[in-house]
Amino acid sequence: MTRLHELNFFIKLGVAFIIMLAAWFAPDWRFGVPLALVCLALLWGLRVPGLRGYIKGAALLTGMVMVSWMINLWLQGLSTPQALPVAAAMAARLVTTTAAFYFVMETSSPGEILAAASAARLPSIATLVLSLTFGVIPMLRDDFERIADAQRSRGMEIDDVGLPTKLRFALARGIPLLVQAIRMAHAISFSLTLYGYDLKHKRTTWREVGLMVEQRLSMKDKTYEL
């Protein structure tokens, strides 16, 4: 983890919006594609967790956008040299946007978002919505991986198989993932009630929040063991 991961959530969110605006206002592919590549390089340089998975997703997204836009533009009568830059520009915009928000999502835990929102004295409902929106997706992804491990540890061969089988097994994880998502929603709702979370009441935070958000409580003689 680099210190940039510890930036205040709202600063990260603001920067992501600016990058997104830059991508969407980019005049053409000659600006958009390099911007997307710079964003991807930054994700790699900043050692954002789960980057391999994101790159696969981004590659799939790029391919789908390129193909669908090319077909659309061909149907409208454009030639390939005319259609290609337009499709590339659109794919670049989407990659830049997703990369910017992927950084925010992967480097902001629900606790840090709660702290930043509480320190900003935001209404509790806004605090909750922000924490859940950005916090639940990584949790669900972890659960998806955990279910895959459960399948493997019960003898289901999901690695040494062809892509179609791999995809079929991944889809089969949908039902347990849905069950887990419902359980997670219940656990969050239960803990919020039990610990006195009140939508009408502004909260405080134990963390020091400024430009950066404190990651852990500093205590004397702290040792770290698993």
- 206: contact with other proteins by CB under 8 A: yes
Task: Select the span of 15-23, 32-40, 70-78, 177-185 touching other proteins (CB under 8 A).
Answer: 177-185
Of 3 and 159, the one with the shorter C-beta distance to other proteins is 159
Cβ–Cβ < 8 Å for 125, 138: no
Of 84 and 158, the one with the shorter C-beta distance to other proteins is 158
Task: Select the span of 13-21, 39-47, 70-78, 146-154 touching other proteins (CB under 8 A).
Answer: 146-154
- Choose which of 3, 162, 211, 224 interacts with other proteins (CB under 8 A): 224
- 163: contact with other proteins by CB under 8 A: no
Shortest Å distance, C-beta 11 to other proteins: 20
Distance (Å) of CA 106 to CA 103, 115, 126, 225: 5, 16, 20, 24
Distance (Å) of CA 79 to CA 31, 33, 63, 71, 83: 22, 21, 19, 11, 6
- 110: contact with other proteins by CB under 8 A: yes
- 2: contact with other proteins by CB under 8 A: no
- 76: contact with other proteins by CB under 8 A: no
- Choose which of 3, 76, 159, 163 interacts with other proteins (CB under 8 A): 159
Of 3 and 154, the one with the shorter C-beta distance to other proteins is 154
Residues contacting other proteins: total by CB under 8 A: 60
Shortest Å distance, C-beta 206 to other proteins: 4
| HEC sequence for the chain | CCHHHHECHHHHHHHHHHHHHHHHHCCCHHHHHHHHHHHHHHHHHCCCCCHHHHHHHHHHHHHHHHHHHHHHHHHCCCCHHHHHHHHHHHHHHHHHHHHHHHHHHHHCCHHHHHHHHHHCCCCHHHHHHHHHHHHHHHHHHHHHHHHHHHHHHCCCCCCCCCHHHHHHHHHHCHHHHHHHHHHHHHHHHHHHHHCCCCCCCCCCCCCCECCEECCCCCCCCCCCCC
Task: Select the span of 68-76, 79-87, 90-98, 140-148 touching other proteins (CB under 8 A).
Answer: 140-148
Residues of this chain that interact with other proteins (CB under 8 A) are 109-111, 114-115, 118, 135, 138-139, 142, 146-147, 149-160, 172-173, 175-176, 179, 183-184, 186-188, 190-191, 193-198, 201-208, 215-217, 219, 221-226
